Amino acid sequence: MKNAESWKPTKFVQRGGGWRTTRDTREVGAGSRLITDAVARLYGAQLPLHARGRLLDLGCGQVPLYGAYRALASEVTCVDWADGSHIDRSCDLAEPLPFADAGFDTVILSDVLEHVPDPALVWREMARVLAPGGKVIMNVPFFYWLHAHPHDYYRYTNFALERFVRISGLTLVTLQPLGGVLEVLADLVAKLLDKVPLVGAPLALALQAAAGAFGRTSLGARIAERSARHFPLGYFVVAERRAA
């Protein structure tokens, strides 16, 4: 990664041995903390299990996950559509990737797939650049507001994600929903509250903190598990290119 020595945490920060959303609302809006916390926890738990070797971070932006995977990777290559202080290659993910076959052991695609117009191409290219035994680690939103206008194209069900894995010649390792109906409702209401002047942001943060705490109880976890079949807030996926 270019200028790795100057990298600083942005979207995700480490606290108490785990990862969570930064409390700086300039980095993550007050209405988005619940889903970002869920994403941070999953990457914090799953990256040590799956990330290794030569790592490609696609659509990386400010490389918010670098702190979570840098000790796991032997080499990091960062790609985004626009140049930036940590970007190694600028390229459009609507085009084939400018990398050789089987050149990477890990591919990260965090909150990116919904923003590319040809997702099937991205899956084919990820499978092509993965070495045998390599893994794709990614997340996508589902019941989530439109964002990054006008480059927000799709939402993917678990069935679509499973199909992309299969037709790309990969093997599904993990497909986990992020939250359920209560998390969806809390996220929606928090985003509406965040638009209210003065009191909206504190109320949005309090609502999400309460929803997150309840979701970590046994009852909250059961409700999320049962309702996620129809009302997932998002998905986390790990897929592997099997060794020949």
**pLDDT tens track for 145-156:** 999 999 999 999
| Alpha helices per DSSP H over 174-217 | 181-193, 200-215
Question: What's the pLDDT at 17?
Answer: 86
Rounded to whole angstroms, the Cα distance separating 177 from 86 reads: 30
**238 Cβ partners below 8 Å, 6+ apart?**
46, 50, 135, 136, 137, 138, 172, 173, 174, 175
Amino acid at 136: V
The pLDDT tens digits of the residues spanning 196-221 come to 999 999 999 999 999 999 999 999 99
The pLDDT tens digits of the residues spanning 26-71 come to 999 999 999 999 999 999 999 999 999 999 999 999 999 999 999 9
Question: What's the pLDDT at 243?
Answer: 87
Question: What's the pLDDT at 244?
Answer: 73
Closest CA to 178 of 109, 224, 230, 137: 224
Residue 48 tokens read as 């040590």
Q: Which residue has the tokens 């390599």?
A: 134
Q: Span 70-85, mean pLDDT? A: 96
CA atoms within 13 A on the CB side of 150: 0
Residue 148 tokens read as 């990054």
pLDDT band at 16 (very low <50, low <70, confident <90, very high): confident
